[in-house]
Structure 1
Amino acid sequence: MITLHGFAASNYYNIVKHTLLYKEVPFQENLIFAGSDELLKVSPVGKVPAITTAEGFNLSEANVICDFIEETYPDTPLYPTDASERAAVRQIMKIAELYLELPSRRLIPYVFSGTQAPDTVKEEVRQVLTRGIGALNQVCQFSPWIAGKELTMADIYMHYVNVVVKACAQAQLDWDVLAEIPGMKEWNKTMSQSDIAQKIEADRVANMPEFMQHVQAQIQAANAK
């Protein structure tokens, strides 16, 4: 059985968890926070998520793990069979990561601390998000799924990217980024109503107090140095 290492407050962890649940792959969870010595044993740079297979094979990085799961458990595919269509799915995922998730992530420390990011940081984030919005308006289909008629890995990936975007952009930029992409909010609502997404959201909410305690402990330790 696969062991999924990480914590439910992590959107990257939840991308892998959703993939496993969607494909009905048996797995168990190991609650562990980023940067710990225990995590370094299964993840080379101590990042969440990581997995350990029944054979003892360790693997990290969410997109790499998802590709491994797709190839190992192909019966419920999350990529099209056509090469061009597969590339289109991966293009959406990469744009979402580079131009929505990563710039929004720059605002997380300020969200957690309840402070406002410097105007220079806000402007830099806004510029990158604007590029992402323009790109996604070109490549997303929402017919009904994000890349076409079938649910793909791009749907799972984007759904959990949006968790970070909504939390950070709204709080720090007073900006409803998803509303800038016609069809995105309606699609996101559909995604959130699935049994899998609702289970993952419940687990995320339950994990948040422990995660925030961990964050506060890290901040206190850093300030004490």
Structure 2
Amino acid sequence: MIILHGFAASNYYNLVKHVLLYKEIPFQENLIYSTSDKLLTISPAGKVPAITTANGHHISESSVICDFIEEAYPAKPLYPAEAGERATVRQIMKIAELYLELPSRRLIRYALSGTAAPEALQDEVRQVLNRGIGAMQRLCQFSPWIAGKQLTMADIYVYYVNTIVDSFASSQLNWDILDEIPGMKEWHNSMSKSAIAKSVDADRAANMPEFMKYVKEQIAQAKTERNSPP
């Protein structure tokens, strides 16, 4: 049985969890946070999520985990059969990650602390987001799924990318980013109504108080270490 390591407040953890649930693959969850020394034994960069396979292999990085799951458990495929169409799905996933999720992530610390990000940082993030918006406008089909007629890995991946974009970048920049991509908000709302998304989102909400307590403890510890004499 697969073991999924991480925590439900993480969007990357949740997208892997969604894939496992969609494919009806048995798995166990192991609650572990990013700074845990134990995590380094299963995730070389100390990032979540990570999985331990039934054969004892440790795999990290969400896109790599998704590809492993697809190859090891081909039932209910999430990639098209044709190579070019598979590449398009992966292209959408990569662009969403690089040009929407990662720049939005730079604003999380300010959103969580209730402060505004510096204007220079806001300008940098806007520039990258504009590039991502343009690319997604050209790539996404929403007919009815993000890459065409078939539900693919890109639908699950982008849905959880959007949770970061909408929660942090939109609020910090006072900008409805998802609305800039025609069809994105309607598609996202449709995805959110699935039984799997509702279950995953409920687990996320349940984990959030503990995660926020953990974040505050880490901030307090960092302040203490900075103020300690050498």
Shorter-normalised TM-score: what interval?
A: over 0.9
Partner of 2:41: 41
Give, in whole Å, the separation in 2 of the partners of 1:135 and 1:53. Answer: 35
Give, in whole Å, the separation in 1 of the partners of 2:190 and 2:150. Answer: 14
Q: How does 1:166-205 map to 2 (within 5 A)?
A: 166-205=166-205
**Structure 2 spans left out of the alignment, 5+ residues:** 226-230
Give, in whole Å, the separation in 1 of the partners of 2:54 and 2:99. Answer: 36
Query: C-alpha displacement at 1:112, in angstroms?
Result: 1.0
Query: C-alpha displacement at 1:170, in angstroms?
Result: 2.2
Q: Are positions 1:72 and 2:72 aligned together?
A: yes
Partner of 1:7: 7
**Structure 1 spans left out of the alignment, 5+ residues:** none
Q: How does 1:10-159 map to 2 (within 5 A)?
A: 10-159=10-159
Query: C-alpha displacement at 1:54, in angstroms?
Result: 2.1
Residues 51-105 of structure 1 deviation map (CA, whole Å, 9 limit, x = unaligned): 0112211110000001000000001100000000000001100110010000000
Number of aligned positions between the proteins: 225
Partner of 2:228: none
Percent of counterpart pairs with the same letter?
69
Which residue identity is paired with 1:135?
A
Residues 159-217 of structure 1 deviation map (CA, whole Å, 9 limit, x = unaligned): 00000000112221000000000100000001000000000000000000000011101
Partner of 1:223: 223
Tell me the TM-score normalised to structure 2 length. Answer: 0.97
Secondary structure of 1:30's match? strand
Query: C-alpha displacement at 1:114, in angstroms?
Result: 0.9
Which residue identity is paired with 1:155?
D
Give, in whole Å, the separation in 2 of the partners of 1:44 and 1:132. Answer: 29
Tell me the TM-score normalised to structure 1 length. Answer: 0.99
Give, in whole Å, the separation in 2 of the partners of 1:43 and 1:94. Answer: 21
Secondary structure of 2:141's match? coil
Give, in whole Å, the separation in 2 of the partners of 1:185 and 1:23. Answer: 25
Q: Give the ranges of 4+ consecutive aligned residues of structure 1 lying more than 2 Å apart after TM superposition.
A: none
Q: CA RMSD in A?
A: 0.6
Which residue identity is paired with 1:175?
W
Give, in whole Å, the separation in 1 of the partners of 2:212 and 2:150. Answer: 37
Residues 102-152 of structure 1 deviation map (CA, whole Å, 9 limit, x = unaligned): 000000010111111000000000111011101100000000000000000
